[in-house]
Amino acid sequence: MNMMMMTRRRVKQLFDADKQVMLAERSFHTSTFSYNDEDYMEKMNYLCRRVLDKKQERQRDKKMWRICLQKRSYGAAIRRIQSRDMMMKVEISHHKDFQRD
């Protein structure tokens, strides 16, 4: 058995286990998932809705993370400009002092 086939089987087992856990959290008659189940469509709808909800939540988190990073970088840019302006004012005031002497 080659490595790719073993990996596919392992991923399928993990995915099946995840599906069973999700179905067990909901009050279905069984936590198994097969085409012969009478509530197959209901289970499929539940799984799809749950996956999509998680994906939307992840997208929302990414968007919030981007906004936080933008605010942070915007604040850092403002601080840099303010500190640069402050340094310019200090240099200008020193320069004026030298001209008076």
Which residue range forms the structural domain that includes residue 59? 3-100
Number of domains in the chain: 1
Please work out, in degrees rounded to the nearest 5, the angle formed at the alpha carbon of residue 97 by the alpha carbons of 96 and 98: 90
The pTM is what?
0.42
Radius of gyration (Cα) for the chain, nearest Å? 30
pLDDT digit string (tens) for the chain, length 101 residues: 688 788 788 777 777 777 777 777 877 777 776 777 788 888 888 888 887 887 777 777 777 777 766 666 655 555 555 566 655 565 555 555 555 54
